[in-house]
Amino acid sequence: MNLAARARDWIAQDPDPETRAELEALLGDEAALAERFGAKLEFGTAGLRGELGAGPNRMNRVTVMRAAAGLARVLGPGRHVVIGFDARHNSDVFARDTAAVLTGAGLKASIMPATFPTPLLAFAVRHLDADAGVMVTASHNPPRDNGYKVYWGDGAQIVPPIDAEISAAIDQVGRVDELPLGTEWTTLDRSVLDAYLDAVTAIPIGPEREVRVAYTPMHGVGGSTLLEAFERAGFPAPEVVAAQAEPDPDFSTVSFPNPEEPGAMDLVLELAEAAGADLVIANDPDADRCAVAVPGGRQLTGDEVGALLAEHVLRGTKGDDRLVVTTIVSSSLLGKIASAYGVHYAESLTGFKWIMKANGGRMVFGYEEALGYSVGGDAGLPVHDKDGIGAALAVAGLAAAAKRDGRTLLDLLDDQARRYGLHATAPLSIRVSDISLIAEAMERLRAHPPRELGGREVVRAEDLSAGAGGLPPTDGVRYRLAGDARVVIRPSGTEPKLKAYLEVVVPVTGEVAEARAQAERDLDALRTDLATVLAL
């Protein structure tokens, strides 16, 4: 079929009057139709994620119903799927459409009673002994995006080959107006929330509670859950940024609702200053990430928070079978901490879906540099995904203990630098308008690796697409540099970005401040050279 015929076929089966009208208005506009029908959102290990709108290259009710039908085919009749949703545009509609398709195919579906954080959905899959879970969210993406994240029965996000099986099943789905739709699904009550709160408040938070926290849910769905978690754990109620306290799908006070983006935390930092807070915490919109800052506006990196939480967890747990895990793009410091505590350590590919597949012991802690942490205790991890609520509790307990001693999180970071050497990390992220530029850059990096970066010899270049260190193949390269430094480069899995992860290790022989200044100079030199090499 030509583009116009495909658009008319889409209109005929689309249950949404808004996207039908959108396509009706575009009939005759070949360029606009080509943009929507010339490609499709691909279902992968991140599920689906993209801009809202009509056509197979957009997030809409047809795309979601096809995804649900594909998932139903892979699971088979009689299986149980839990469905959660955030407060983005159409998230609740997509959740109900998923339930209708699943129950129409003979599966059992349970929907969360309201908008809840992503980690609560991940928890619910295992708590309810379900076979799979679906979370309708685009996490920290722009306001016009939405997404569809699939979890398996272990409560972790899907990995290959399950993603390919679901994708192939989606391709076999016909018209969605011919799918049988059910109406008999279960709406869960708050008992799932209570069980989650019981689990995350049982992690090793520490005994101290006197800490004043400034907090923002960044217009997302984490606010009420975090406040209840803090109350149950015995912490004083955080001061909350009023303008960002309630869910807002338009994210009206931030240009990009990601705590890592410049300016995103400005309002909570202002509140912290005005309230005399000891600690600043921000969740991203679906509350699976946790950003941390201290008075004065110093925001900690994900690697810094990960290192602090790792020691906090290891001090609060027991057993030489304990396992801590991070990713190949995160700091190497966690390996040194694990060695010091005599516990097992593993590295995974990027993303919590891979962290949760690590073997070698009883996992008590996992983290990735992109502000994702899963904090566990002697019973293991309550959530098999990153959890911004549980991480916030643990950080608050850590900050409270430091305050008791007249110290801050920055003092604890200095302690670690003296013990293990200063491990300084930094990102370099380049957004492109033409996605083909990323593939071209990766090919250049493989074919012609640089001989030197930041004044350091590249002593080893590794093509991660061939697999490295026993890990599955992935699209990336890793350069080992002279003098204990490293660069990893990979395409983003969810955005049109090329991402680089830099690390230098500086021994602390005098003042920590001197080592930090040296590390910043080293990272700046790496960034400058790498930007030239990438040529984007």
Domain end (from 386, 410, 444): 386
- The answer to whether residue 344 sits within a structural domain is yes
Please report the pLDDT score of residue 496 as a whole number.
83
The verdict on 323 and 367 lying in the same domain is yes
pLDDT exceeds 80 at position 294: yes
What is the spatial distance between Cα 256 and Cα 48, in angstroms, rounded to a whole number?
20
Q: What domain range includes position 329?
A: 300-386
Instruction: Please list, residue by residue across 487-506, b when 16 or more beta carbons sit within 10 angstroms of its beta carbon and e when fewer do.
Output: bbbbbebbbebbbbbbbbbb
Which CATH number fits the domain that encloses residue 459? Answer: 3.30.310.50
The values of phi and psi at residue 480, to 5°, are -90, 130
Rounded (5°) CA angle 28-33-37: 145
What is the spatial distance between Cα 329 and Cα 368, in angstroms, rounded to a whole number?
8
pLDDT exceeds 80 at position 493: no
Please report the pLDDT score of residue 188 as a whole number.
98
Please report the pLDDT score of residue 225 as a whole number.
98
* AA letter at 1: M
User: H helices of 51-175, where?
Assistant: 61-75, 91-104, 118-127, 162-171
Given the structure tokens 């569809």, which residue do they identify?
Answer: 148
User: In the numeric block, which tokens belong to residue 474?
Assistant: 């992935």
CA 320 centroid distance within chain: 29
The verdict on 188 and 144 lying in the same domain is yes
Please report the pLDDT score of residue 492 as a whole number.
86
Say how many domains are in the chain.
4
The verdict on 342 and 240 lying in the same domain is no
**Mean pLDDT over each residue of the chain, to the nearest integer:** 96
What is the spatial distance between Cα 418 and Cα 516, in angstroms, rounded to a whole number?
12
Domain end (from 368, 386, 404): 386
Sign of CA pseudo-dihedral 512, 517, 523, 525:
negative
Q: Which residues contact 114 (CB under 8 A, 6 or more apart)?
A: none
pLDDT exceeds 80 at position 480: yes
What is the spatial distance between Cα 211 and Cα 401, in angstroms, rounded to a whole number?
9
- The answer to whether residue 202 sits within a structural domain is no
The verdict on 24 and 135 lying in the same domain is yes
The verdict on 294 and 351 lying in the same domain is no
Give residue-wise pLDDT tens across range 509-525: 999 999 999 999 999 99
Please report the pLDDT score of residue 333 as a whole number.
98
- The answer to whether residue 320 sits within a structural domain is yes
What is the spatial distance between Cα 312 and Cα 325, in angstroms, rounded to a whole number?
15
What is the spatial distance between Cα 36 and Cα 222, in angstroms, rounded to a whole number?
33
Burial class of residue 78 in the structure, from the number of CB atoms within 10 Å of its CB (0-12 exposed, 13-18 middle, 19+ buried): exposed
pLDDT exceeds 80 at position 384: yes
- The answer to whether residue 406 sits within a structural domain is no
The verdict on 336 and 272 lying in the same domain is no
What is the spatial distance between Cα 203 and Cα 316, in angstroms, rounded to a whole number?
9
- At residue 44 the predicted structure's pLDDT band, cuts being 50, 70 and 90, is confident
The verdict on 96 and 142 lying in the same domain is yes
Please report the pLDDT score of residue 113 as a whole number.
96
- The answer to whether residue 508 sits within a structural domain is yes
Which CATH number fits the domain that encloses residue 172? Answer: 3.40.120.10
Mean pLDDT of 133-160: 96
Q: Cis peptide leading into 204, omega within 30 of 0?
A: no
The verdict on 39 and 179 lying in the same domain is yes
What is the spatial distance between Cα 457 and Cα 477, in angstroms, rounded to a whole number?
16
Domain end (from 243, 263, 298): 298
Q: Which residues are catalytic?
A: 139
Give residue-wise pLDDT tens across range 419-438: 999 999 999 999 888 888 99
Distance of CA 317 to CAs 204, 320, 322, Å?
A: 7, 10, 8
The verdict on 57 and 148 lying in the same domain is yes
Q: Which of 326, 322, 277, 323 is nearest to 305 (CA)?
A: 326
Task: Please provide the DSSP assignment of 248-287 as one string.
Answer: -TT-TT-SS--TTSTTTTHHHHHHHHHHT-SEEEEE-TTS
The verdict on 169 and 38 lying in the same domain is yes
pLDDT exceeds 90 at position 193: yes
Mean pLDDT of 116-139: 98
- In what order do the strands lie in the sheet containing 372-375? 344-348, 322-327, 362-368, 372-375
- The answer to whether residue 518 sits within a structural domain is yes
Mean pLDDT of 108-128: 98
Mean pLDDT of 102-125: 98
Please report the pLDDT score of residue 398 as a whole number.
98
Rounded (5°) CA angle 406-407-413: 170
- The answer to whether residue 73 sits within a structural domain is yes
The verdict on 97 and 178 lying in the same domain is yes
- The answer to whether residue 132 sits within a structural domain is yes
The verdict on 181 and 44 lying in the same domain is yes
Please report the pLDDT score of residue 423 as a whole number.
98
